[in-house]
Structure 1
Amino acid sequence: MTDLPKKAAAKWSRLLRVEADAQALTNSCLRELSEANRLLDNAPHGPRAPSLRAVIIEGRARLVELQQRHREAAALNTHLLRWLERNRSVELEDLPAARPRLLKGDTAVDAIARVRDRIAALRGEHTATEGAMLPIGDLKALVRSHVQTLAERARPKIAAASDKVEVTFRSKGEGWSNKPDLEGLLAWLDPAAFEARLCEELAGTAGTSLRLSPEEKSAALSKLRAEMDALEREEEALIEMAIDTNGVTIERRASASPAAILGVRQKQQARAMA
């Protein structure tokens, strides 16, 4: 596992303690339930039977809550550990905690819901941007390049002897054959016409899909990732605020950024942003 900087290491230790404490409380509740059940089995009609049944009912409800709390803590720490293992060779540095923003009348819980809605919307934009098609002009340039490649590949080889001519064609593999590659032959016979017909077919796929050049897509994705990173760090700050000021524990999302939770970033990322 990668070495964590000071603040991140302290937080990681705290999260591990939360999991261990949740496990200890769950085990304690199980022991109490076991003992109550034992006493009730021994004296089902004794004077303590009603109170023991009440303890068992209350204990079962509490056990469900404690087990859920432990599952959440364990899932979070597994999520973080896997990320740390994948980044074992990456040098990390602490970042100052994000400043959570509360709108007028907001509680930390309200603000977290608002931030999570925005993160979800940005993830949708990110997915749409990743799937954006190239502009028609760029696609036509790809068609032209494809036709040129086909035509060059399909150019026949002619061998002339004293009384005959032998024509062979390059196959779709590496060898030669007396059977032409039809697609390539069409491109070789009339590349302009073949290209024009392919572009006509291409125009029919235009639709209303998002279209971006590689440069535009890269810039848009970088902007979206930066905004999502800032929001995830704000979300984590709000979760910590809810714990510190209200004693409210809010489950972190399964897809929450480990870097945001631990408050770190890669050092080379910091140099790139400088």
Structure 2
Amino acid sequence: MADGSNLPKAAQLKILRLEDAEQQAQTLISSTVRRIGELERVIMNNPDGDRRGAIREEIALLCERRDEHTDRHRSFCDVNAAIRRYLEMLPANAVLSDAKRIKVRPKAGESFHDAVDRVRREIAGLVSERFRVAQAGLPKEEIQARARDWVAQCAKTARPRITATHNEFAISFDVFDERASVPLHDMAAIMAFLYPERFLKRIDEIIDQMPKPTLAMSAEQKAKRLRDIKDRLFGCEVEEEGLISLAEEQGQTIDRRPTADPRAILGLVVDRHSATAA
């Protein structure tokens, strides 16, 4: 998949254009550096010439342009490298297709740069929200439910072994703490077997004393919220790429983010389920 041979036509074309843009940026760097060198030699050969002031101003301007071209070239390199890494990680039999192109326009009074900045602020907000949700703690009720499951499981593992024969009777708890460096009985498991209700009551008291998290969500709520954020984030990145591409069609260049989803940049739909089934 690394060579992009299985990519649909529109995605292949986007990759070619990004590679061309990277090469053009490199060409601009080389030509600007060459021109700076030529002008510096003019001053060196004629340091007292009448044009030295104008030439120095032109060199300063060219140095600024060189830095701009360098930044742009680095941006294209980073984006293209991120796309290559993504394609290399795709299964060889992944089913790829072109995404339906959406129509995007800047809002009234917005330039393309303004529109992209607005979408990127929304993206930053979603990334921040995703981190906050991922760090969300469990509500007390779910912690208590998990504590009950844990105690019930401990009680099962701590069930004693009873030996009763014609000449022997013995009861032993053959459950040991795996974290201990020497063999020690797992007292928590034994307590869970002998006094489950009293054990749970003490655990609930400890849970009640725990600090409340800033954001509390059940595992199901968290998973649903993260899926929603993921979908909204991808939608924003598709809009961002649409605005950047439209700006390019009108002769304006806006740097892409190397962290943007390669699928959004390429307009690519990846069906991994079909690949797995195949």
- Taking structure 2 as the reference length, the TM-score comes to 0.83
CA distance in 1, matches of 2:176, 2:213: 38
Q: Which has the higher contact order (CA 8 A, sep 6+)?
A: 2
| 1:183-222 matched pairs, under 5 angstroms | 183-205=188-210, 207-222=212-227
Cα deviation, 1:189-232, whole Å, max 9, x if unaligned, reads 21111112112222333625434344333332222222211111
Task: Report the equivalent of 1:137.
Answer: 141
Q: Indicate whether 1:8 and 2:14 are aligned.
A: no
Contact 1:168 1:178 in 2 (8 A): no
Contact 2:155 2:192 in 1 (8 A): yes
Task: Report the equivalent of 1:240.
Answer: 245
Q: Indicate whether 1:104 and 2:108 are aligned.
A: yes
* Alpha-carbon offset, residue 25 of structure 1: 0.9
CA distance in 2, matches of 1:202, 1:116: 41
Q: Does the C-alpha gap of structure 1 residues 108 and 207 become closer, same or farther in structure 2, counting only changes over 3 Å?
A: same
List runs of 5+ in structure 2 lacking aligned partners.
none
Q: Does the C-alpha gap of structure 1 residues 165 and 20 become closer, same or farther in structure 2, counting only changes over 3 Å?
A: same
Question: Residue 170 of structure 1: SS of its match in structure 2?
Answer: coil
CA distance in 2, matches of 1:168, 1:215: 37
Contact 1:134 1:211 in 2 (8 A): yes
| 1:26-41 matched pairs, under 5 angstroms | 26-41=29-44
Q: Does the C-alpha gap of structure 1 residues 104 and 30 become closer, same or farther in structure 2, counting only changes over 3 Å?
A: closer
Cα deviation, 1:20-55, whole Å, max 9, x if unaligned, reads 000011011111222222332233224554444333
Q: Percent identity?
A: 32
Deviates more, 1:19-28 or 1:48-57: 48-57
What residue identity is the alignment partner of 1:133? G
Question: Residue 260 of structure 2: SS of its match in structure 1?
Answer: coil
Q: Indicate whether 1:117 and 2:121 are aligned.
A: yes
Contact 1:91 1:266 in 2 (8 A): yes
Deviates more, 1:158-167 or 1:125-134: 158-167
- Taking structure 1 as the reference length, the TM-score comes to 0.84
Task: Report the equivalent of 2:185.
Answer: 180
Contact 1:169 1:179 in 2 (8 A): no
* Alpha-carbon offset, residue 19 of structure 1: 0.4
Deviates more, 1:4-13 or 1:145-154: 145-154
Q: Does the C-alpha gap of structure 1 residues 168 and 227 become closer, same or farther in structure 2, counting only changes over 3 Å?
A: closer
List runs of 5+ in structure 1 lacking aligned partners.
none
**Alignment counterpart, residue 261 of structure 2, candidates 257, 261, 266:** 257
What residue identity is the alignment partner of 2:19? L
CA distance in 1, matches of 2:161, 2:27: 80
**Alignment counterpart, residue 57 of structure 1, candidates 38, 60, 65:** 60
RMSD: 2.9
What residue identity is the alignment partner of 1:143? A
Aligned length: 268
Contact 1:91 1:267 in 2 (8 A): yes
State the 4+ residue runs in structure 1 displaced beyond 6 angstroms. Answer: none
